[in-house]
Structure 1
């Protein structure tokens, strides 16, 4: 049995304030017996105004949130799945990047969000993530204290091919940190989270942003832990930020995969055609 912690946040436009929230959560998660803490997408900075955000989006080596999280992880001997940070790439473009940090503070893995959130909702909300961020290309999984962890971010959840690839890697756990909009969250959040867990026969851990943010957006919350059968083990609700805990049993993965060996039964698809 492995204890994990999820930080549900209402991140704002000041990276140092967000940093302090995450560092406190690392300490509290360690004291609570968690082997690993999961944080939401854009936990270090959530700011839709590009001009205001630009001075705070810096290379990894200069990112104050990343550095402090590495130090806190080492101090409290706990691994951290840092949902994502906005970072400047060597080519000057921006990436929406997840980090897996070991209990010794080292960076074990990085994943750049593949699918950009470019949508126009009936509520009037319009988002063009691709204007500011460069999409990633690589499927990433990393060994962690809670098993093989597959990485994804928020809007990725709508693209099953990524989770098919993580399933073929036989991931034990898949992280889906998010800053889901309230309208899309109400319609699709729970059902897609459960579907991804069932398809991969893996635990899904989704730390989320919640509530009204300084930059004017509203996010859905409901940080979740879902088991490989699709059962929700933890739902942190859509009202408040905070720290939640769940215990996951990796034996459950083997039980589910014995009953429904869908990963083993998969076959390559033939050529598609419309008659």
Structure 2
């Protein structure tokens, strides 16, 4: 059994306050014997005002955050899956980047969000991530985590089954889906899509989420989830507010599910 911790956040426009909350969660997770802590998308800064937020997106500040969180991971002897933060990219845009810190204080493994949230919702909300963010190009997995092989995704990636099919073919044991889902899309699709992706990839899905009303005016759905390879929801943190949740992961469940329904082994190339 592997115990994990999931941090549900209401991140705001002050990165120092957000980082302080993450550090408190690292300590609390370690004190409760968790081996990995998962945080949401844009844990460090969540701000729709891109001009205001830009002051924090530079290489020096990025490195200071990485150094501090790597130190905390090592100090408390716990791996940290930082859902994502905005970092500078060579094109002049930013990247929405996940960081996985091992407790041995080495450089984190990173993943850049591939799919950009460019949508106009029926409630009047409009989002154009591609105006500010450069899409990632690589599927990323990490071997040797407490959960085995971990696949990395971010939020809107959830809607693209080809990515999860690739992670399933790579035999990921778990997939992280940190998110800041809007309330309308979350209420409609969050639970069903996360359960479907876990079933398709026959892997645990761990989705740390933003929740509530944020300082920049947005509202997020919450309901951080852990789903097992059969599609059973093991943890649902609800949509009321931030908090730290815990879940025990039975990695033996993966082999049981793959033996019962060997869809990964039976998959065939679909002709054009």
Range into which the TM-score falls when normalised by the shorter chain: over 0.9
5 Å matches for 1:64-143?
Answer: 64-143=64-143
**CA shift for structure 1 position 151:** 0.4
Give, in whole Å, the separation in 2 of the partners of 1:160 and 1:190: 15
Show the counterpart of 2:49.
Answer: 49
Q: Could you list the structure 1 runs, at least 4 aligned residues long, displaced by more than 4 angstroms after superposition.
A: none
Give, in whole Å, the separation in 1 of the partners of 2:223 and 2:91: 36
Show the counterpart of 1:266.
Answer: 267
Ranges in structure 2 where 5+ consecutive residues have no aligned partner: none
Show the counterpart of 2:242.
Answer: 241
Show the counterpart of 1:189.
Answer: 190
**CA shift for structure 1 position 176:** 0.3
Q: Which has the higher mean CA deviation after the structures are superposed, 175-184 or 67-76?
A: 67-76
Show the counterpart of 2:224.
Answer: 223
Cα deviation code 1:170-204 (max 9, x no counterpart): 00000000000000000000000000000000000
Give, in whole Å, the separation in 2 of the partners of 1:18 and 1:68: 13
**CA shift for structure 1 position 91:** 4.1
**CA shift for structure 1 position 93:** 2.3
Q: TM-score, normalised by structure 1?
A: 0.97
Show the counterpart of 2:150.
Answer: 149
Cα deviation code 1:38-90 (max 9, x no counterpart): 00000000001011011111227744433221111010000011100100124
Give, in whole Å, the separation in 2 of the partners of 1:60 and 1:269: 47
Give, in whole Å, the separation in 1 of the partners of 2:183 and 2:62: 32
Q: Is the 8 A contact 1:148 1:171 kept in 2?
A: yes
Q: TM-score, normalised by structure 2?
A: 0.98
Q: Is the 8 A contact 2:18 2:43 kept in 1?
A: yes
| Count of residues in Structure 1 that have an aligned counterpart in Structure 2 | 271
Ranges in structure 1 where 5+ consecutive residues have no aligned partner: none
Does residue 199 of the first structure (1) align with residue 196 of the second (2)? no
